[in-house]
Structure 1
Amino acid sequence: MTGLDDGRLAGIRADFPYLADRAYLNSAGAGLAWRGQSAAAAAYYDDVASRGADGQRLWMDLGARARERVARLLGVPVEDANFFRNTTEVINLAALSVDWRADDEVVVAADEFPSVAWPWVRAEATGGRVVRVDPGAESQREDRLLAAITTRTRVVAVSHVNTVTGTRLDLDRLGRACREVDALLVVDGIQALGAIPVGLTHVDVYAAGVFKWLLSSFGTGIGVFRERAREMLTPAYRGYRNRPPSTDFGYADPNYPGLYVLDATLEFLGGVGWPVIHGRVEDLTRRAADAVRALGIEPITPADAQAGIVSFTVEDPTAITAELLRGGVHVVEKMDTIRVSPHFYNTSADVDRFAEALGVALADR
């Protein structure tokens, strides 16, 4: 297993008390809280209690530091990154900021997550249309999206990693195709950021909540608007932080208590090491996929387009998921599939426990 000896891993797992006696394999649903999270949130309220508004400079500086950490993680200039409430807000903000024209098209997969699919109906009010692409088999998803791009395409909106199937898209390939027709690539990255390395060279807008792989709870979202996006869009929301003619999309103060948590968690994760985290997620996900195949089930998730999720179908997935949970194995049923999503804090034994419990559950049916 990549990057952590047994002693260091045991120390890390001690910071996640929910892991005791459980195989928690649902980080794509919500990452676990670690012990430093409550202390970080309390630090904000302690600062306010002791300083009142005089502490504003303190929490603004911490927010700036968290922004710098996010920019480094994504490899973008700090001015490209801002904080919002959630992924949905960022994608809606992007959609509202387009000057829509008649005959504009937005390309999305027909089975996209609602937060990715529905903000673009605004284009239809001006005579445009949303092109909902049948993804076909998971191995065809990316090629079918690419085939739908035309000279009328204004935006391609995708999930970096599909929340149900776990399929990872090649953002460079999609982004290059968008640039050929002067379209924007807008990406929901919530199921990718923190689980896999993310490169935004050919991405225009990237949105991600922090409560999954970044382990930082709800109420804070990351929104990256690259320079190209800021040149092609006009911010729909204006406030004291982005008065005209600013092209910055950050319009108000962020959720500072949430940023205290995010800043502390990013420091913690950086101490573990992002290559270690990404490597462990890859290894554990591959182990889970191999375990499913060993039981005679071929995962839906393509082996060459995996991130932190393995999904597969069985008869009565709701009952199987409930049976696993009774045995202390946490996975989730979504859209008639079972989704398994290990994080770096999991062990090979957690995955093996899942495989054994799944085998028993299937044999009992």
Structure 2
Amino acid sequence: MTTIDEFAAGFADEPGYFDFAKYGPISTPVAEEQRGLVDLQARSRHGSEIALDEQAGRVRRAVSALVGFPADQVVFQPNTSEGLLHTMFGLTGQIVLSAREYPSLPLAVTRASSALRVLDPVWMDPTYGAVTPALVQEHLTSSTTAVAVSAVDYRTGYLADLEGIRQVIGDRLLIVDAIQGLGVADLPWSLADVVMAGGQKWLRAGWGTGFLALSERAATELTPVFTGVAGSELALGGRYDQPVPVRAGAAAFQVANPDPIAQARLATAAEAVTAVGVPAIAAAVAERASRLIDLADEAAVPVMSSRDEAERAGIVVLQPEPAQLTTLTAAFINHGVTATVRDTTVRLSTHVSNDDESFDMLRAALTSFGSAVTY
């Protein structure tokens, strides 16, 4: 096992970075893994392709250990959006989802609905982005076949109650966009039928990395509409001049051969998270999120995200008076604090690599803001 301090020491991001919900700077082991395989690929000695080919199985095993799905029901994807599109184009019936989800999810649903006309979206309008079991239950009908939800809402940081949602939807498919929670929130992923995520945020594996994991039922019920050579029996060998069927299970949801170096980056990151354990990471992040809230309170900056640890992961959202937003943004810039400013809010997101220096920089920025504001 790896200690949380050893895990945190594996990152080299600069102090003042509080934007992990946008992009998590890759770890030193991930960077080293990439450099080693790039060098191998550049030299291309006889037999070197073996190490590259091995990454497909490695990444499936690493993701399997992280989310609790069998390795043969996990398939690498270059991003969350591709996993969502595979899922929604393969789905039929009525799907319940929030209109306030990150656009990748609603866009995948509306594109599939308008193109194939076999998917019927039912839209929820949750208060502050909170998709609760009660809200889901209100929108279920006898025609509902699936419910889709983000594990963590990207605007508010609200942590979905997957157990409660599973209880109210029964045997309908539960589809979870896990990108804002995987690796930082201790959630029962195996309760879902479909889980997809990119690795560029909390897993800190960089862009071009992701996966799609399916339950046995989802693998049976979803139609692999977009299947290329990698998702067909040709990938297992055979003649190229004859029609071939798609592969069984999650493997069918592939278009082309993936980048083995991207697979290695995701595998390295997932292995590191598993080695330290998500509960340890979640506890460290929860402590840091509480520090963010305390600093905001000291500066009298309103916190719009939940203060309840059971309802949040690593995201804390500030909502100053509209006339003060520019002043707060300038204070962050002047003190080297990186965050996401959107509409009327400032989203701070923290991870294990945020040390005391980072929090000192944030405190200085908030103090500067307070001295510049006239009440």
Q: TM-score, normalised by structure 1?
A: 0.87
Q: Does the 8 A contact of 2:335 with 2:361 survive in 1? A: no
- CA-CA distance at 1:270 after TM superposition: 4.3
Q: Distance in 2 between matches of 1:142 and 1:307?
A: 18
- 1:131 corresponds, among 115, 122, 125, to 122
Amino acid paired to 2:318: F
Q: Does the 8 A contact of 2:173 with 2:193 survive in 1? A: yes
Q: Distance in 2 between matches of 1:314 and 1:95?
A: 38
Q: Does the 8 A contact of 1:310 with 1:341 survive in 2? A: yes
The equivalences for 1:94-105 within 5 A come to 94-98=87-91, 100=92, 104-105=93-94
- Is structure 2 residue 316 aligned with structure 1 residue 310? yes
- 2:40 corresponds, among 21, 43, 47, to 47
- 2:22 corresponds, among 14, 24, 29, to 29
SS at match of 1:330: coil
Q: Does the 8 A contact of 1:196 with 1:307 survive in 2? A: yes
- CA-CA distance at 1:174 after TM superposition: 1.4
- 2:355 corresponds, among 347, 350, 363, to 347
Q: Distance in 2 between matches of 1:127 and 1:272?
A: 43
Superposed CA RMSD in Å reads 2.5
Q: Does the 8 A contact of 1:164 with 1:335 survive in 2? A: no
- CA-CA distance at 1:232 after TM superposition: 1.4
Q: Does the 8 A contact of 1:195 with 1:278 survive in 2? A: yes
In structure 2, stretches of 5+ residues that fail to align are: 234-244
Q: Distance in 1 between matches of 2:95 and 2:213?
A: 20
The equivalences for 1:192-211 within 5 A come to 192-211=181-200
The equivalences for 1:221-300 within 5 A come to 221-238=210-227, 239-243=229-233, 244=245, 246-248=248-250, 249-251=252-254, 252-300=256-304
SS at match of 2:54: helix
Report the more deviating stretch, 27-36 or 302-311.
27-36
- CA-CA distance at 1:88 after TM superposition: 0.3
- CA-CA distance at 1:350 after TM superposition: 2.5
Task: Specify whether residues 52 and 202 from structure 1 end up closer, same or farther in structure 2 by C-alpha distance, changes over 3 A only.
Answer: same
Which whole-Å deviations, capped at 9, do the CAs of 1:59-117 have from their partners, x for residues lacking one?
2223312221111011221112111110000011001112x3xxx43212121111011
Q: Does the 8 A contact of 2:177 with 2:196 survive in 1? A: yes
- CA-CA distance at 1:219 after TM superposition: 0.7
- CA-CA distance at 1:137 after TM superposition: 4.0
Amino acid paired to 1:355: R
Which whole-Å deviations, capped at 9, do the CAs of 1:251-270 have from their partners, x for residues lacking one?
34222111222233334444
SS at match of 1:163: coil
Q: Does the 8 A contact of 1:284 with 1:347 survive in 2? A: no
- Is structure 2 residue 166 aligned with structure 1 residue 175? yes
- Between Structure 1 and Structure 2, how many residues are aligned? 350
Q: Distance in 2 between matches of 1:267 and 1:130?
A: 36
Task: Specify whether residues 240 and 324 from structure 1 end up closer, same or farther in structure 2 by C-alpha distance, changes over 3 A only.
Answer: closer
Q: Does the 8 A contact of 2:38 with 2:261 survive in 1? A: yes
Task: Specify whether residues 203 and 335 from structure 1 end up closer, same or farther in structure 2 by C-alpha distance, changes over 3 A only.
Answer: farther
SS at match of 2:154: coil
Q: Distance in 2 between matches of 1:83 and 1:43?
A: 21
The equivalences for 1:74-153 within 5 A come to 74-98=67-91, 100=92, 104-121=93-110, 122-124=112-114, 126=117, 129-137=120-128, 141-153=132-144
Q: Does the 8 A contact of 1:153 with 1:183 survive in 2? A: yes
Task: Specify whether residues 119 and 171 from structure 1 end up closer, same or farther in structure 2 by C-alpha distance, changes over 3 A only.
Answer: same
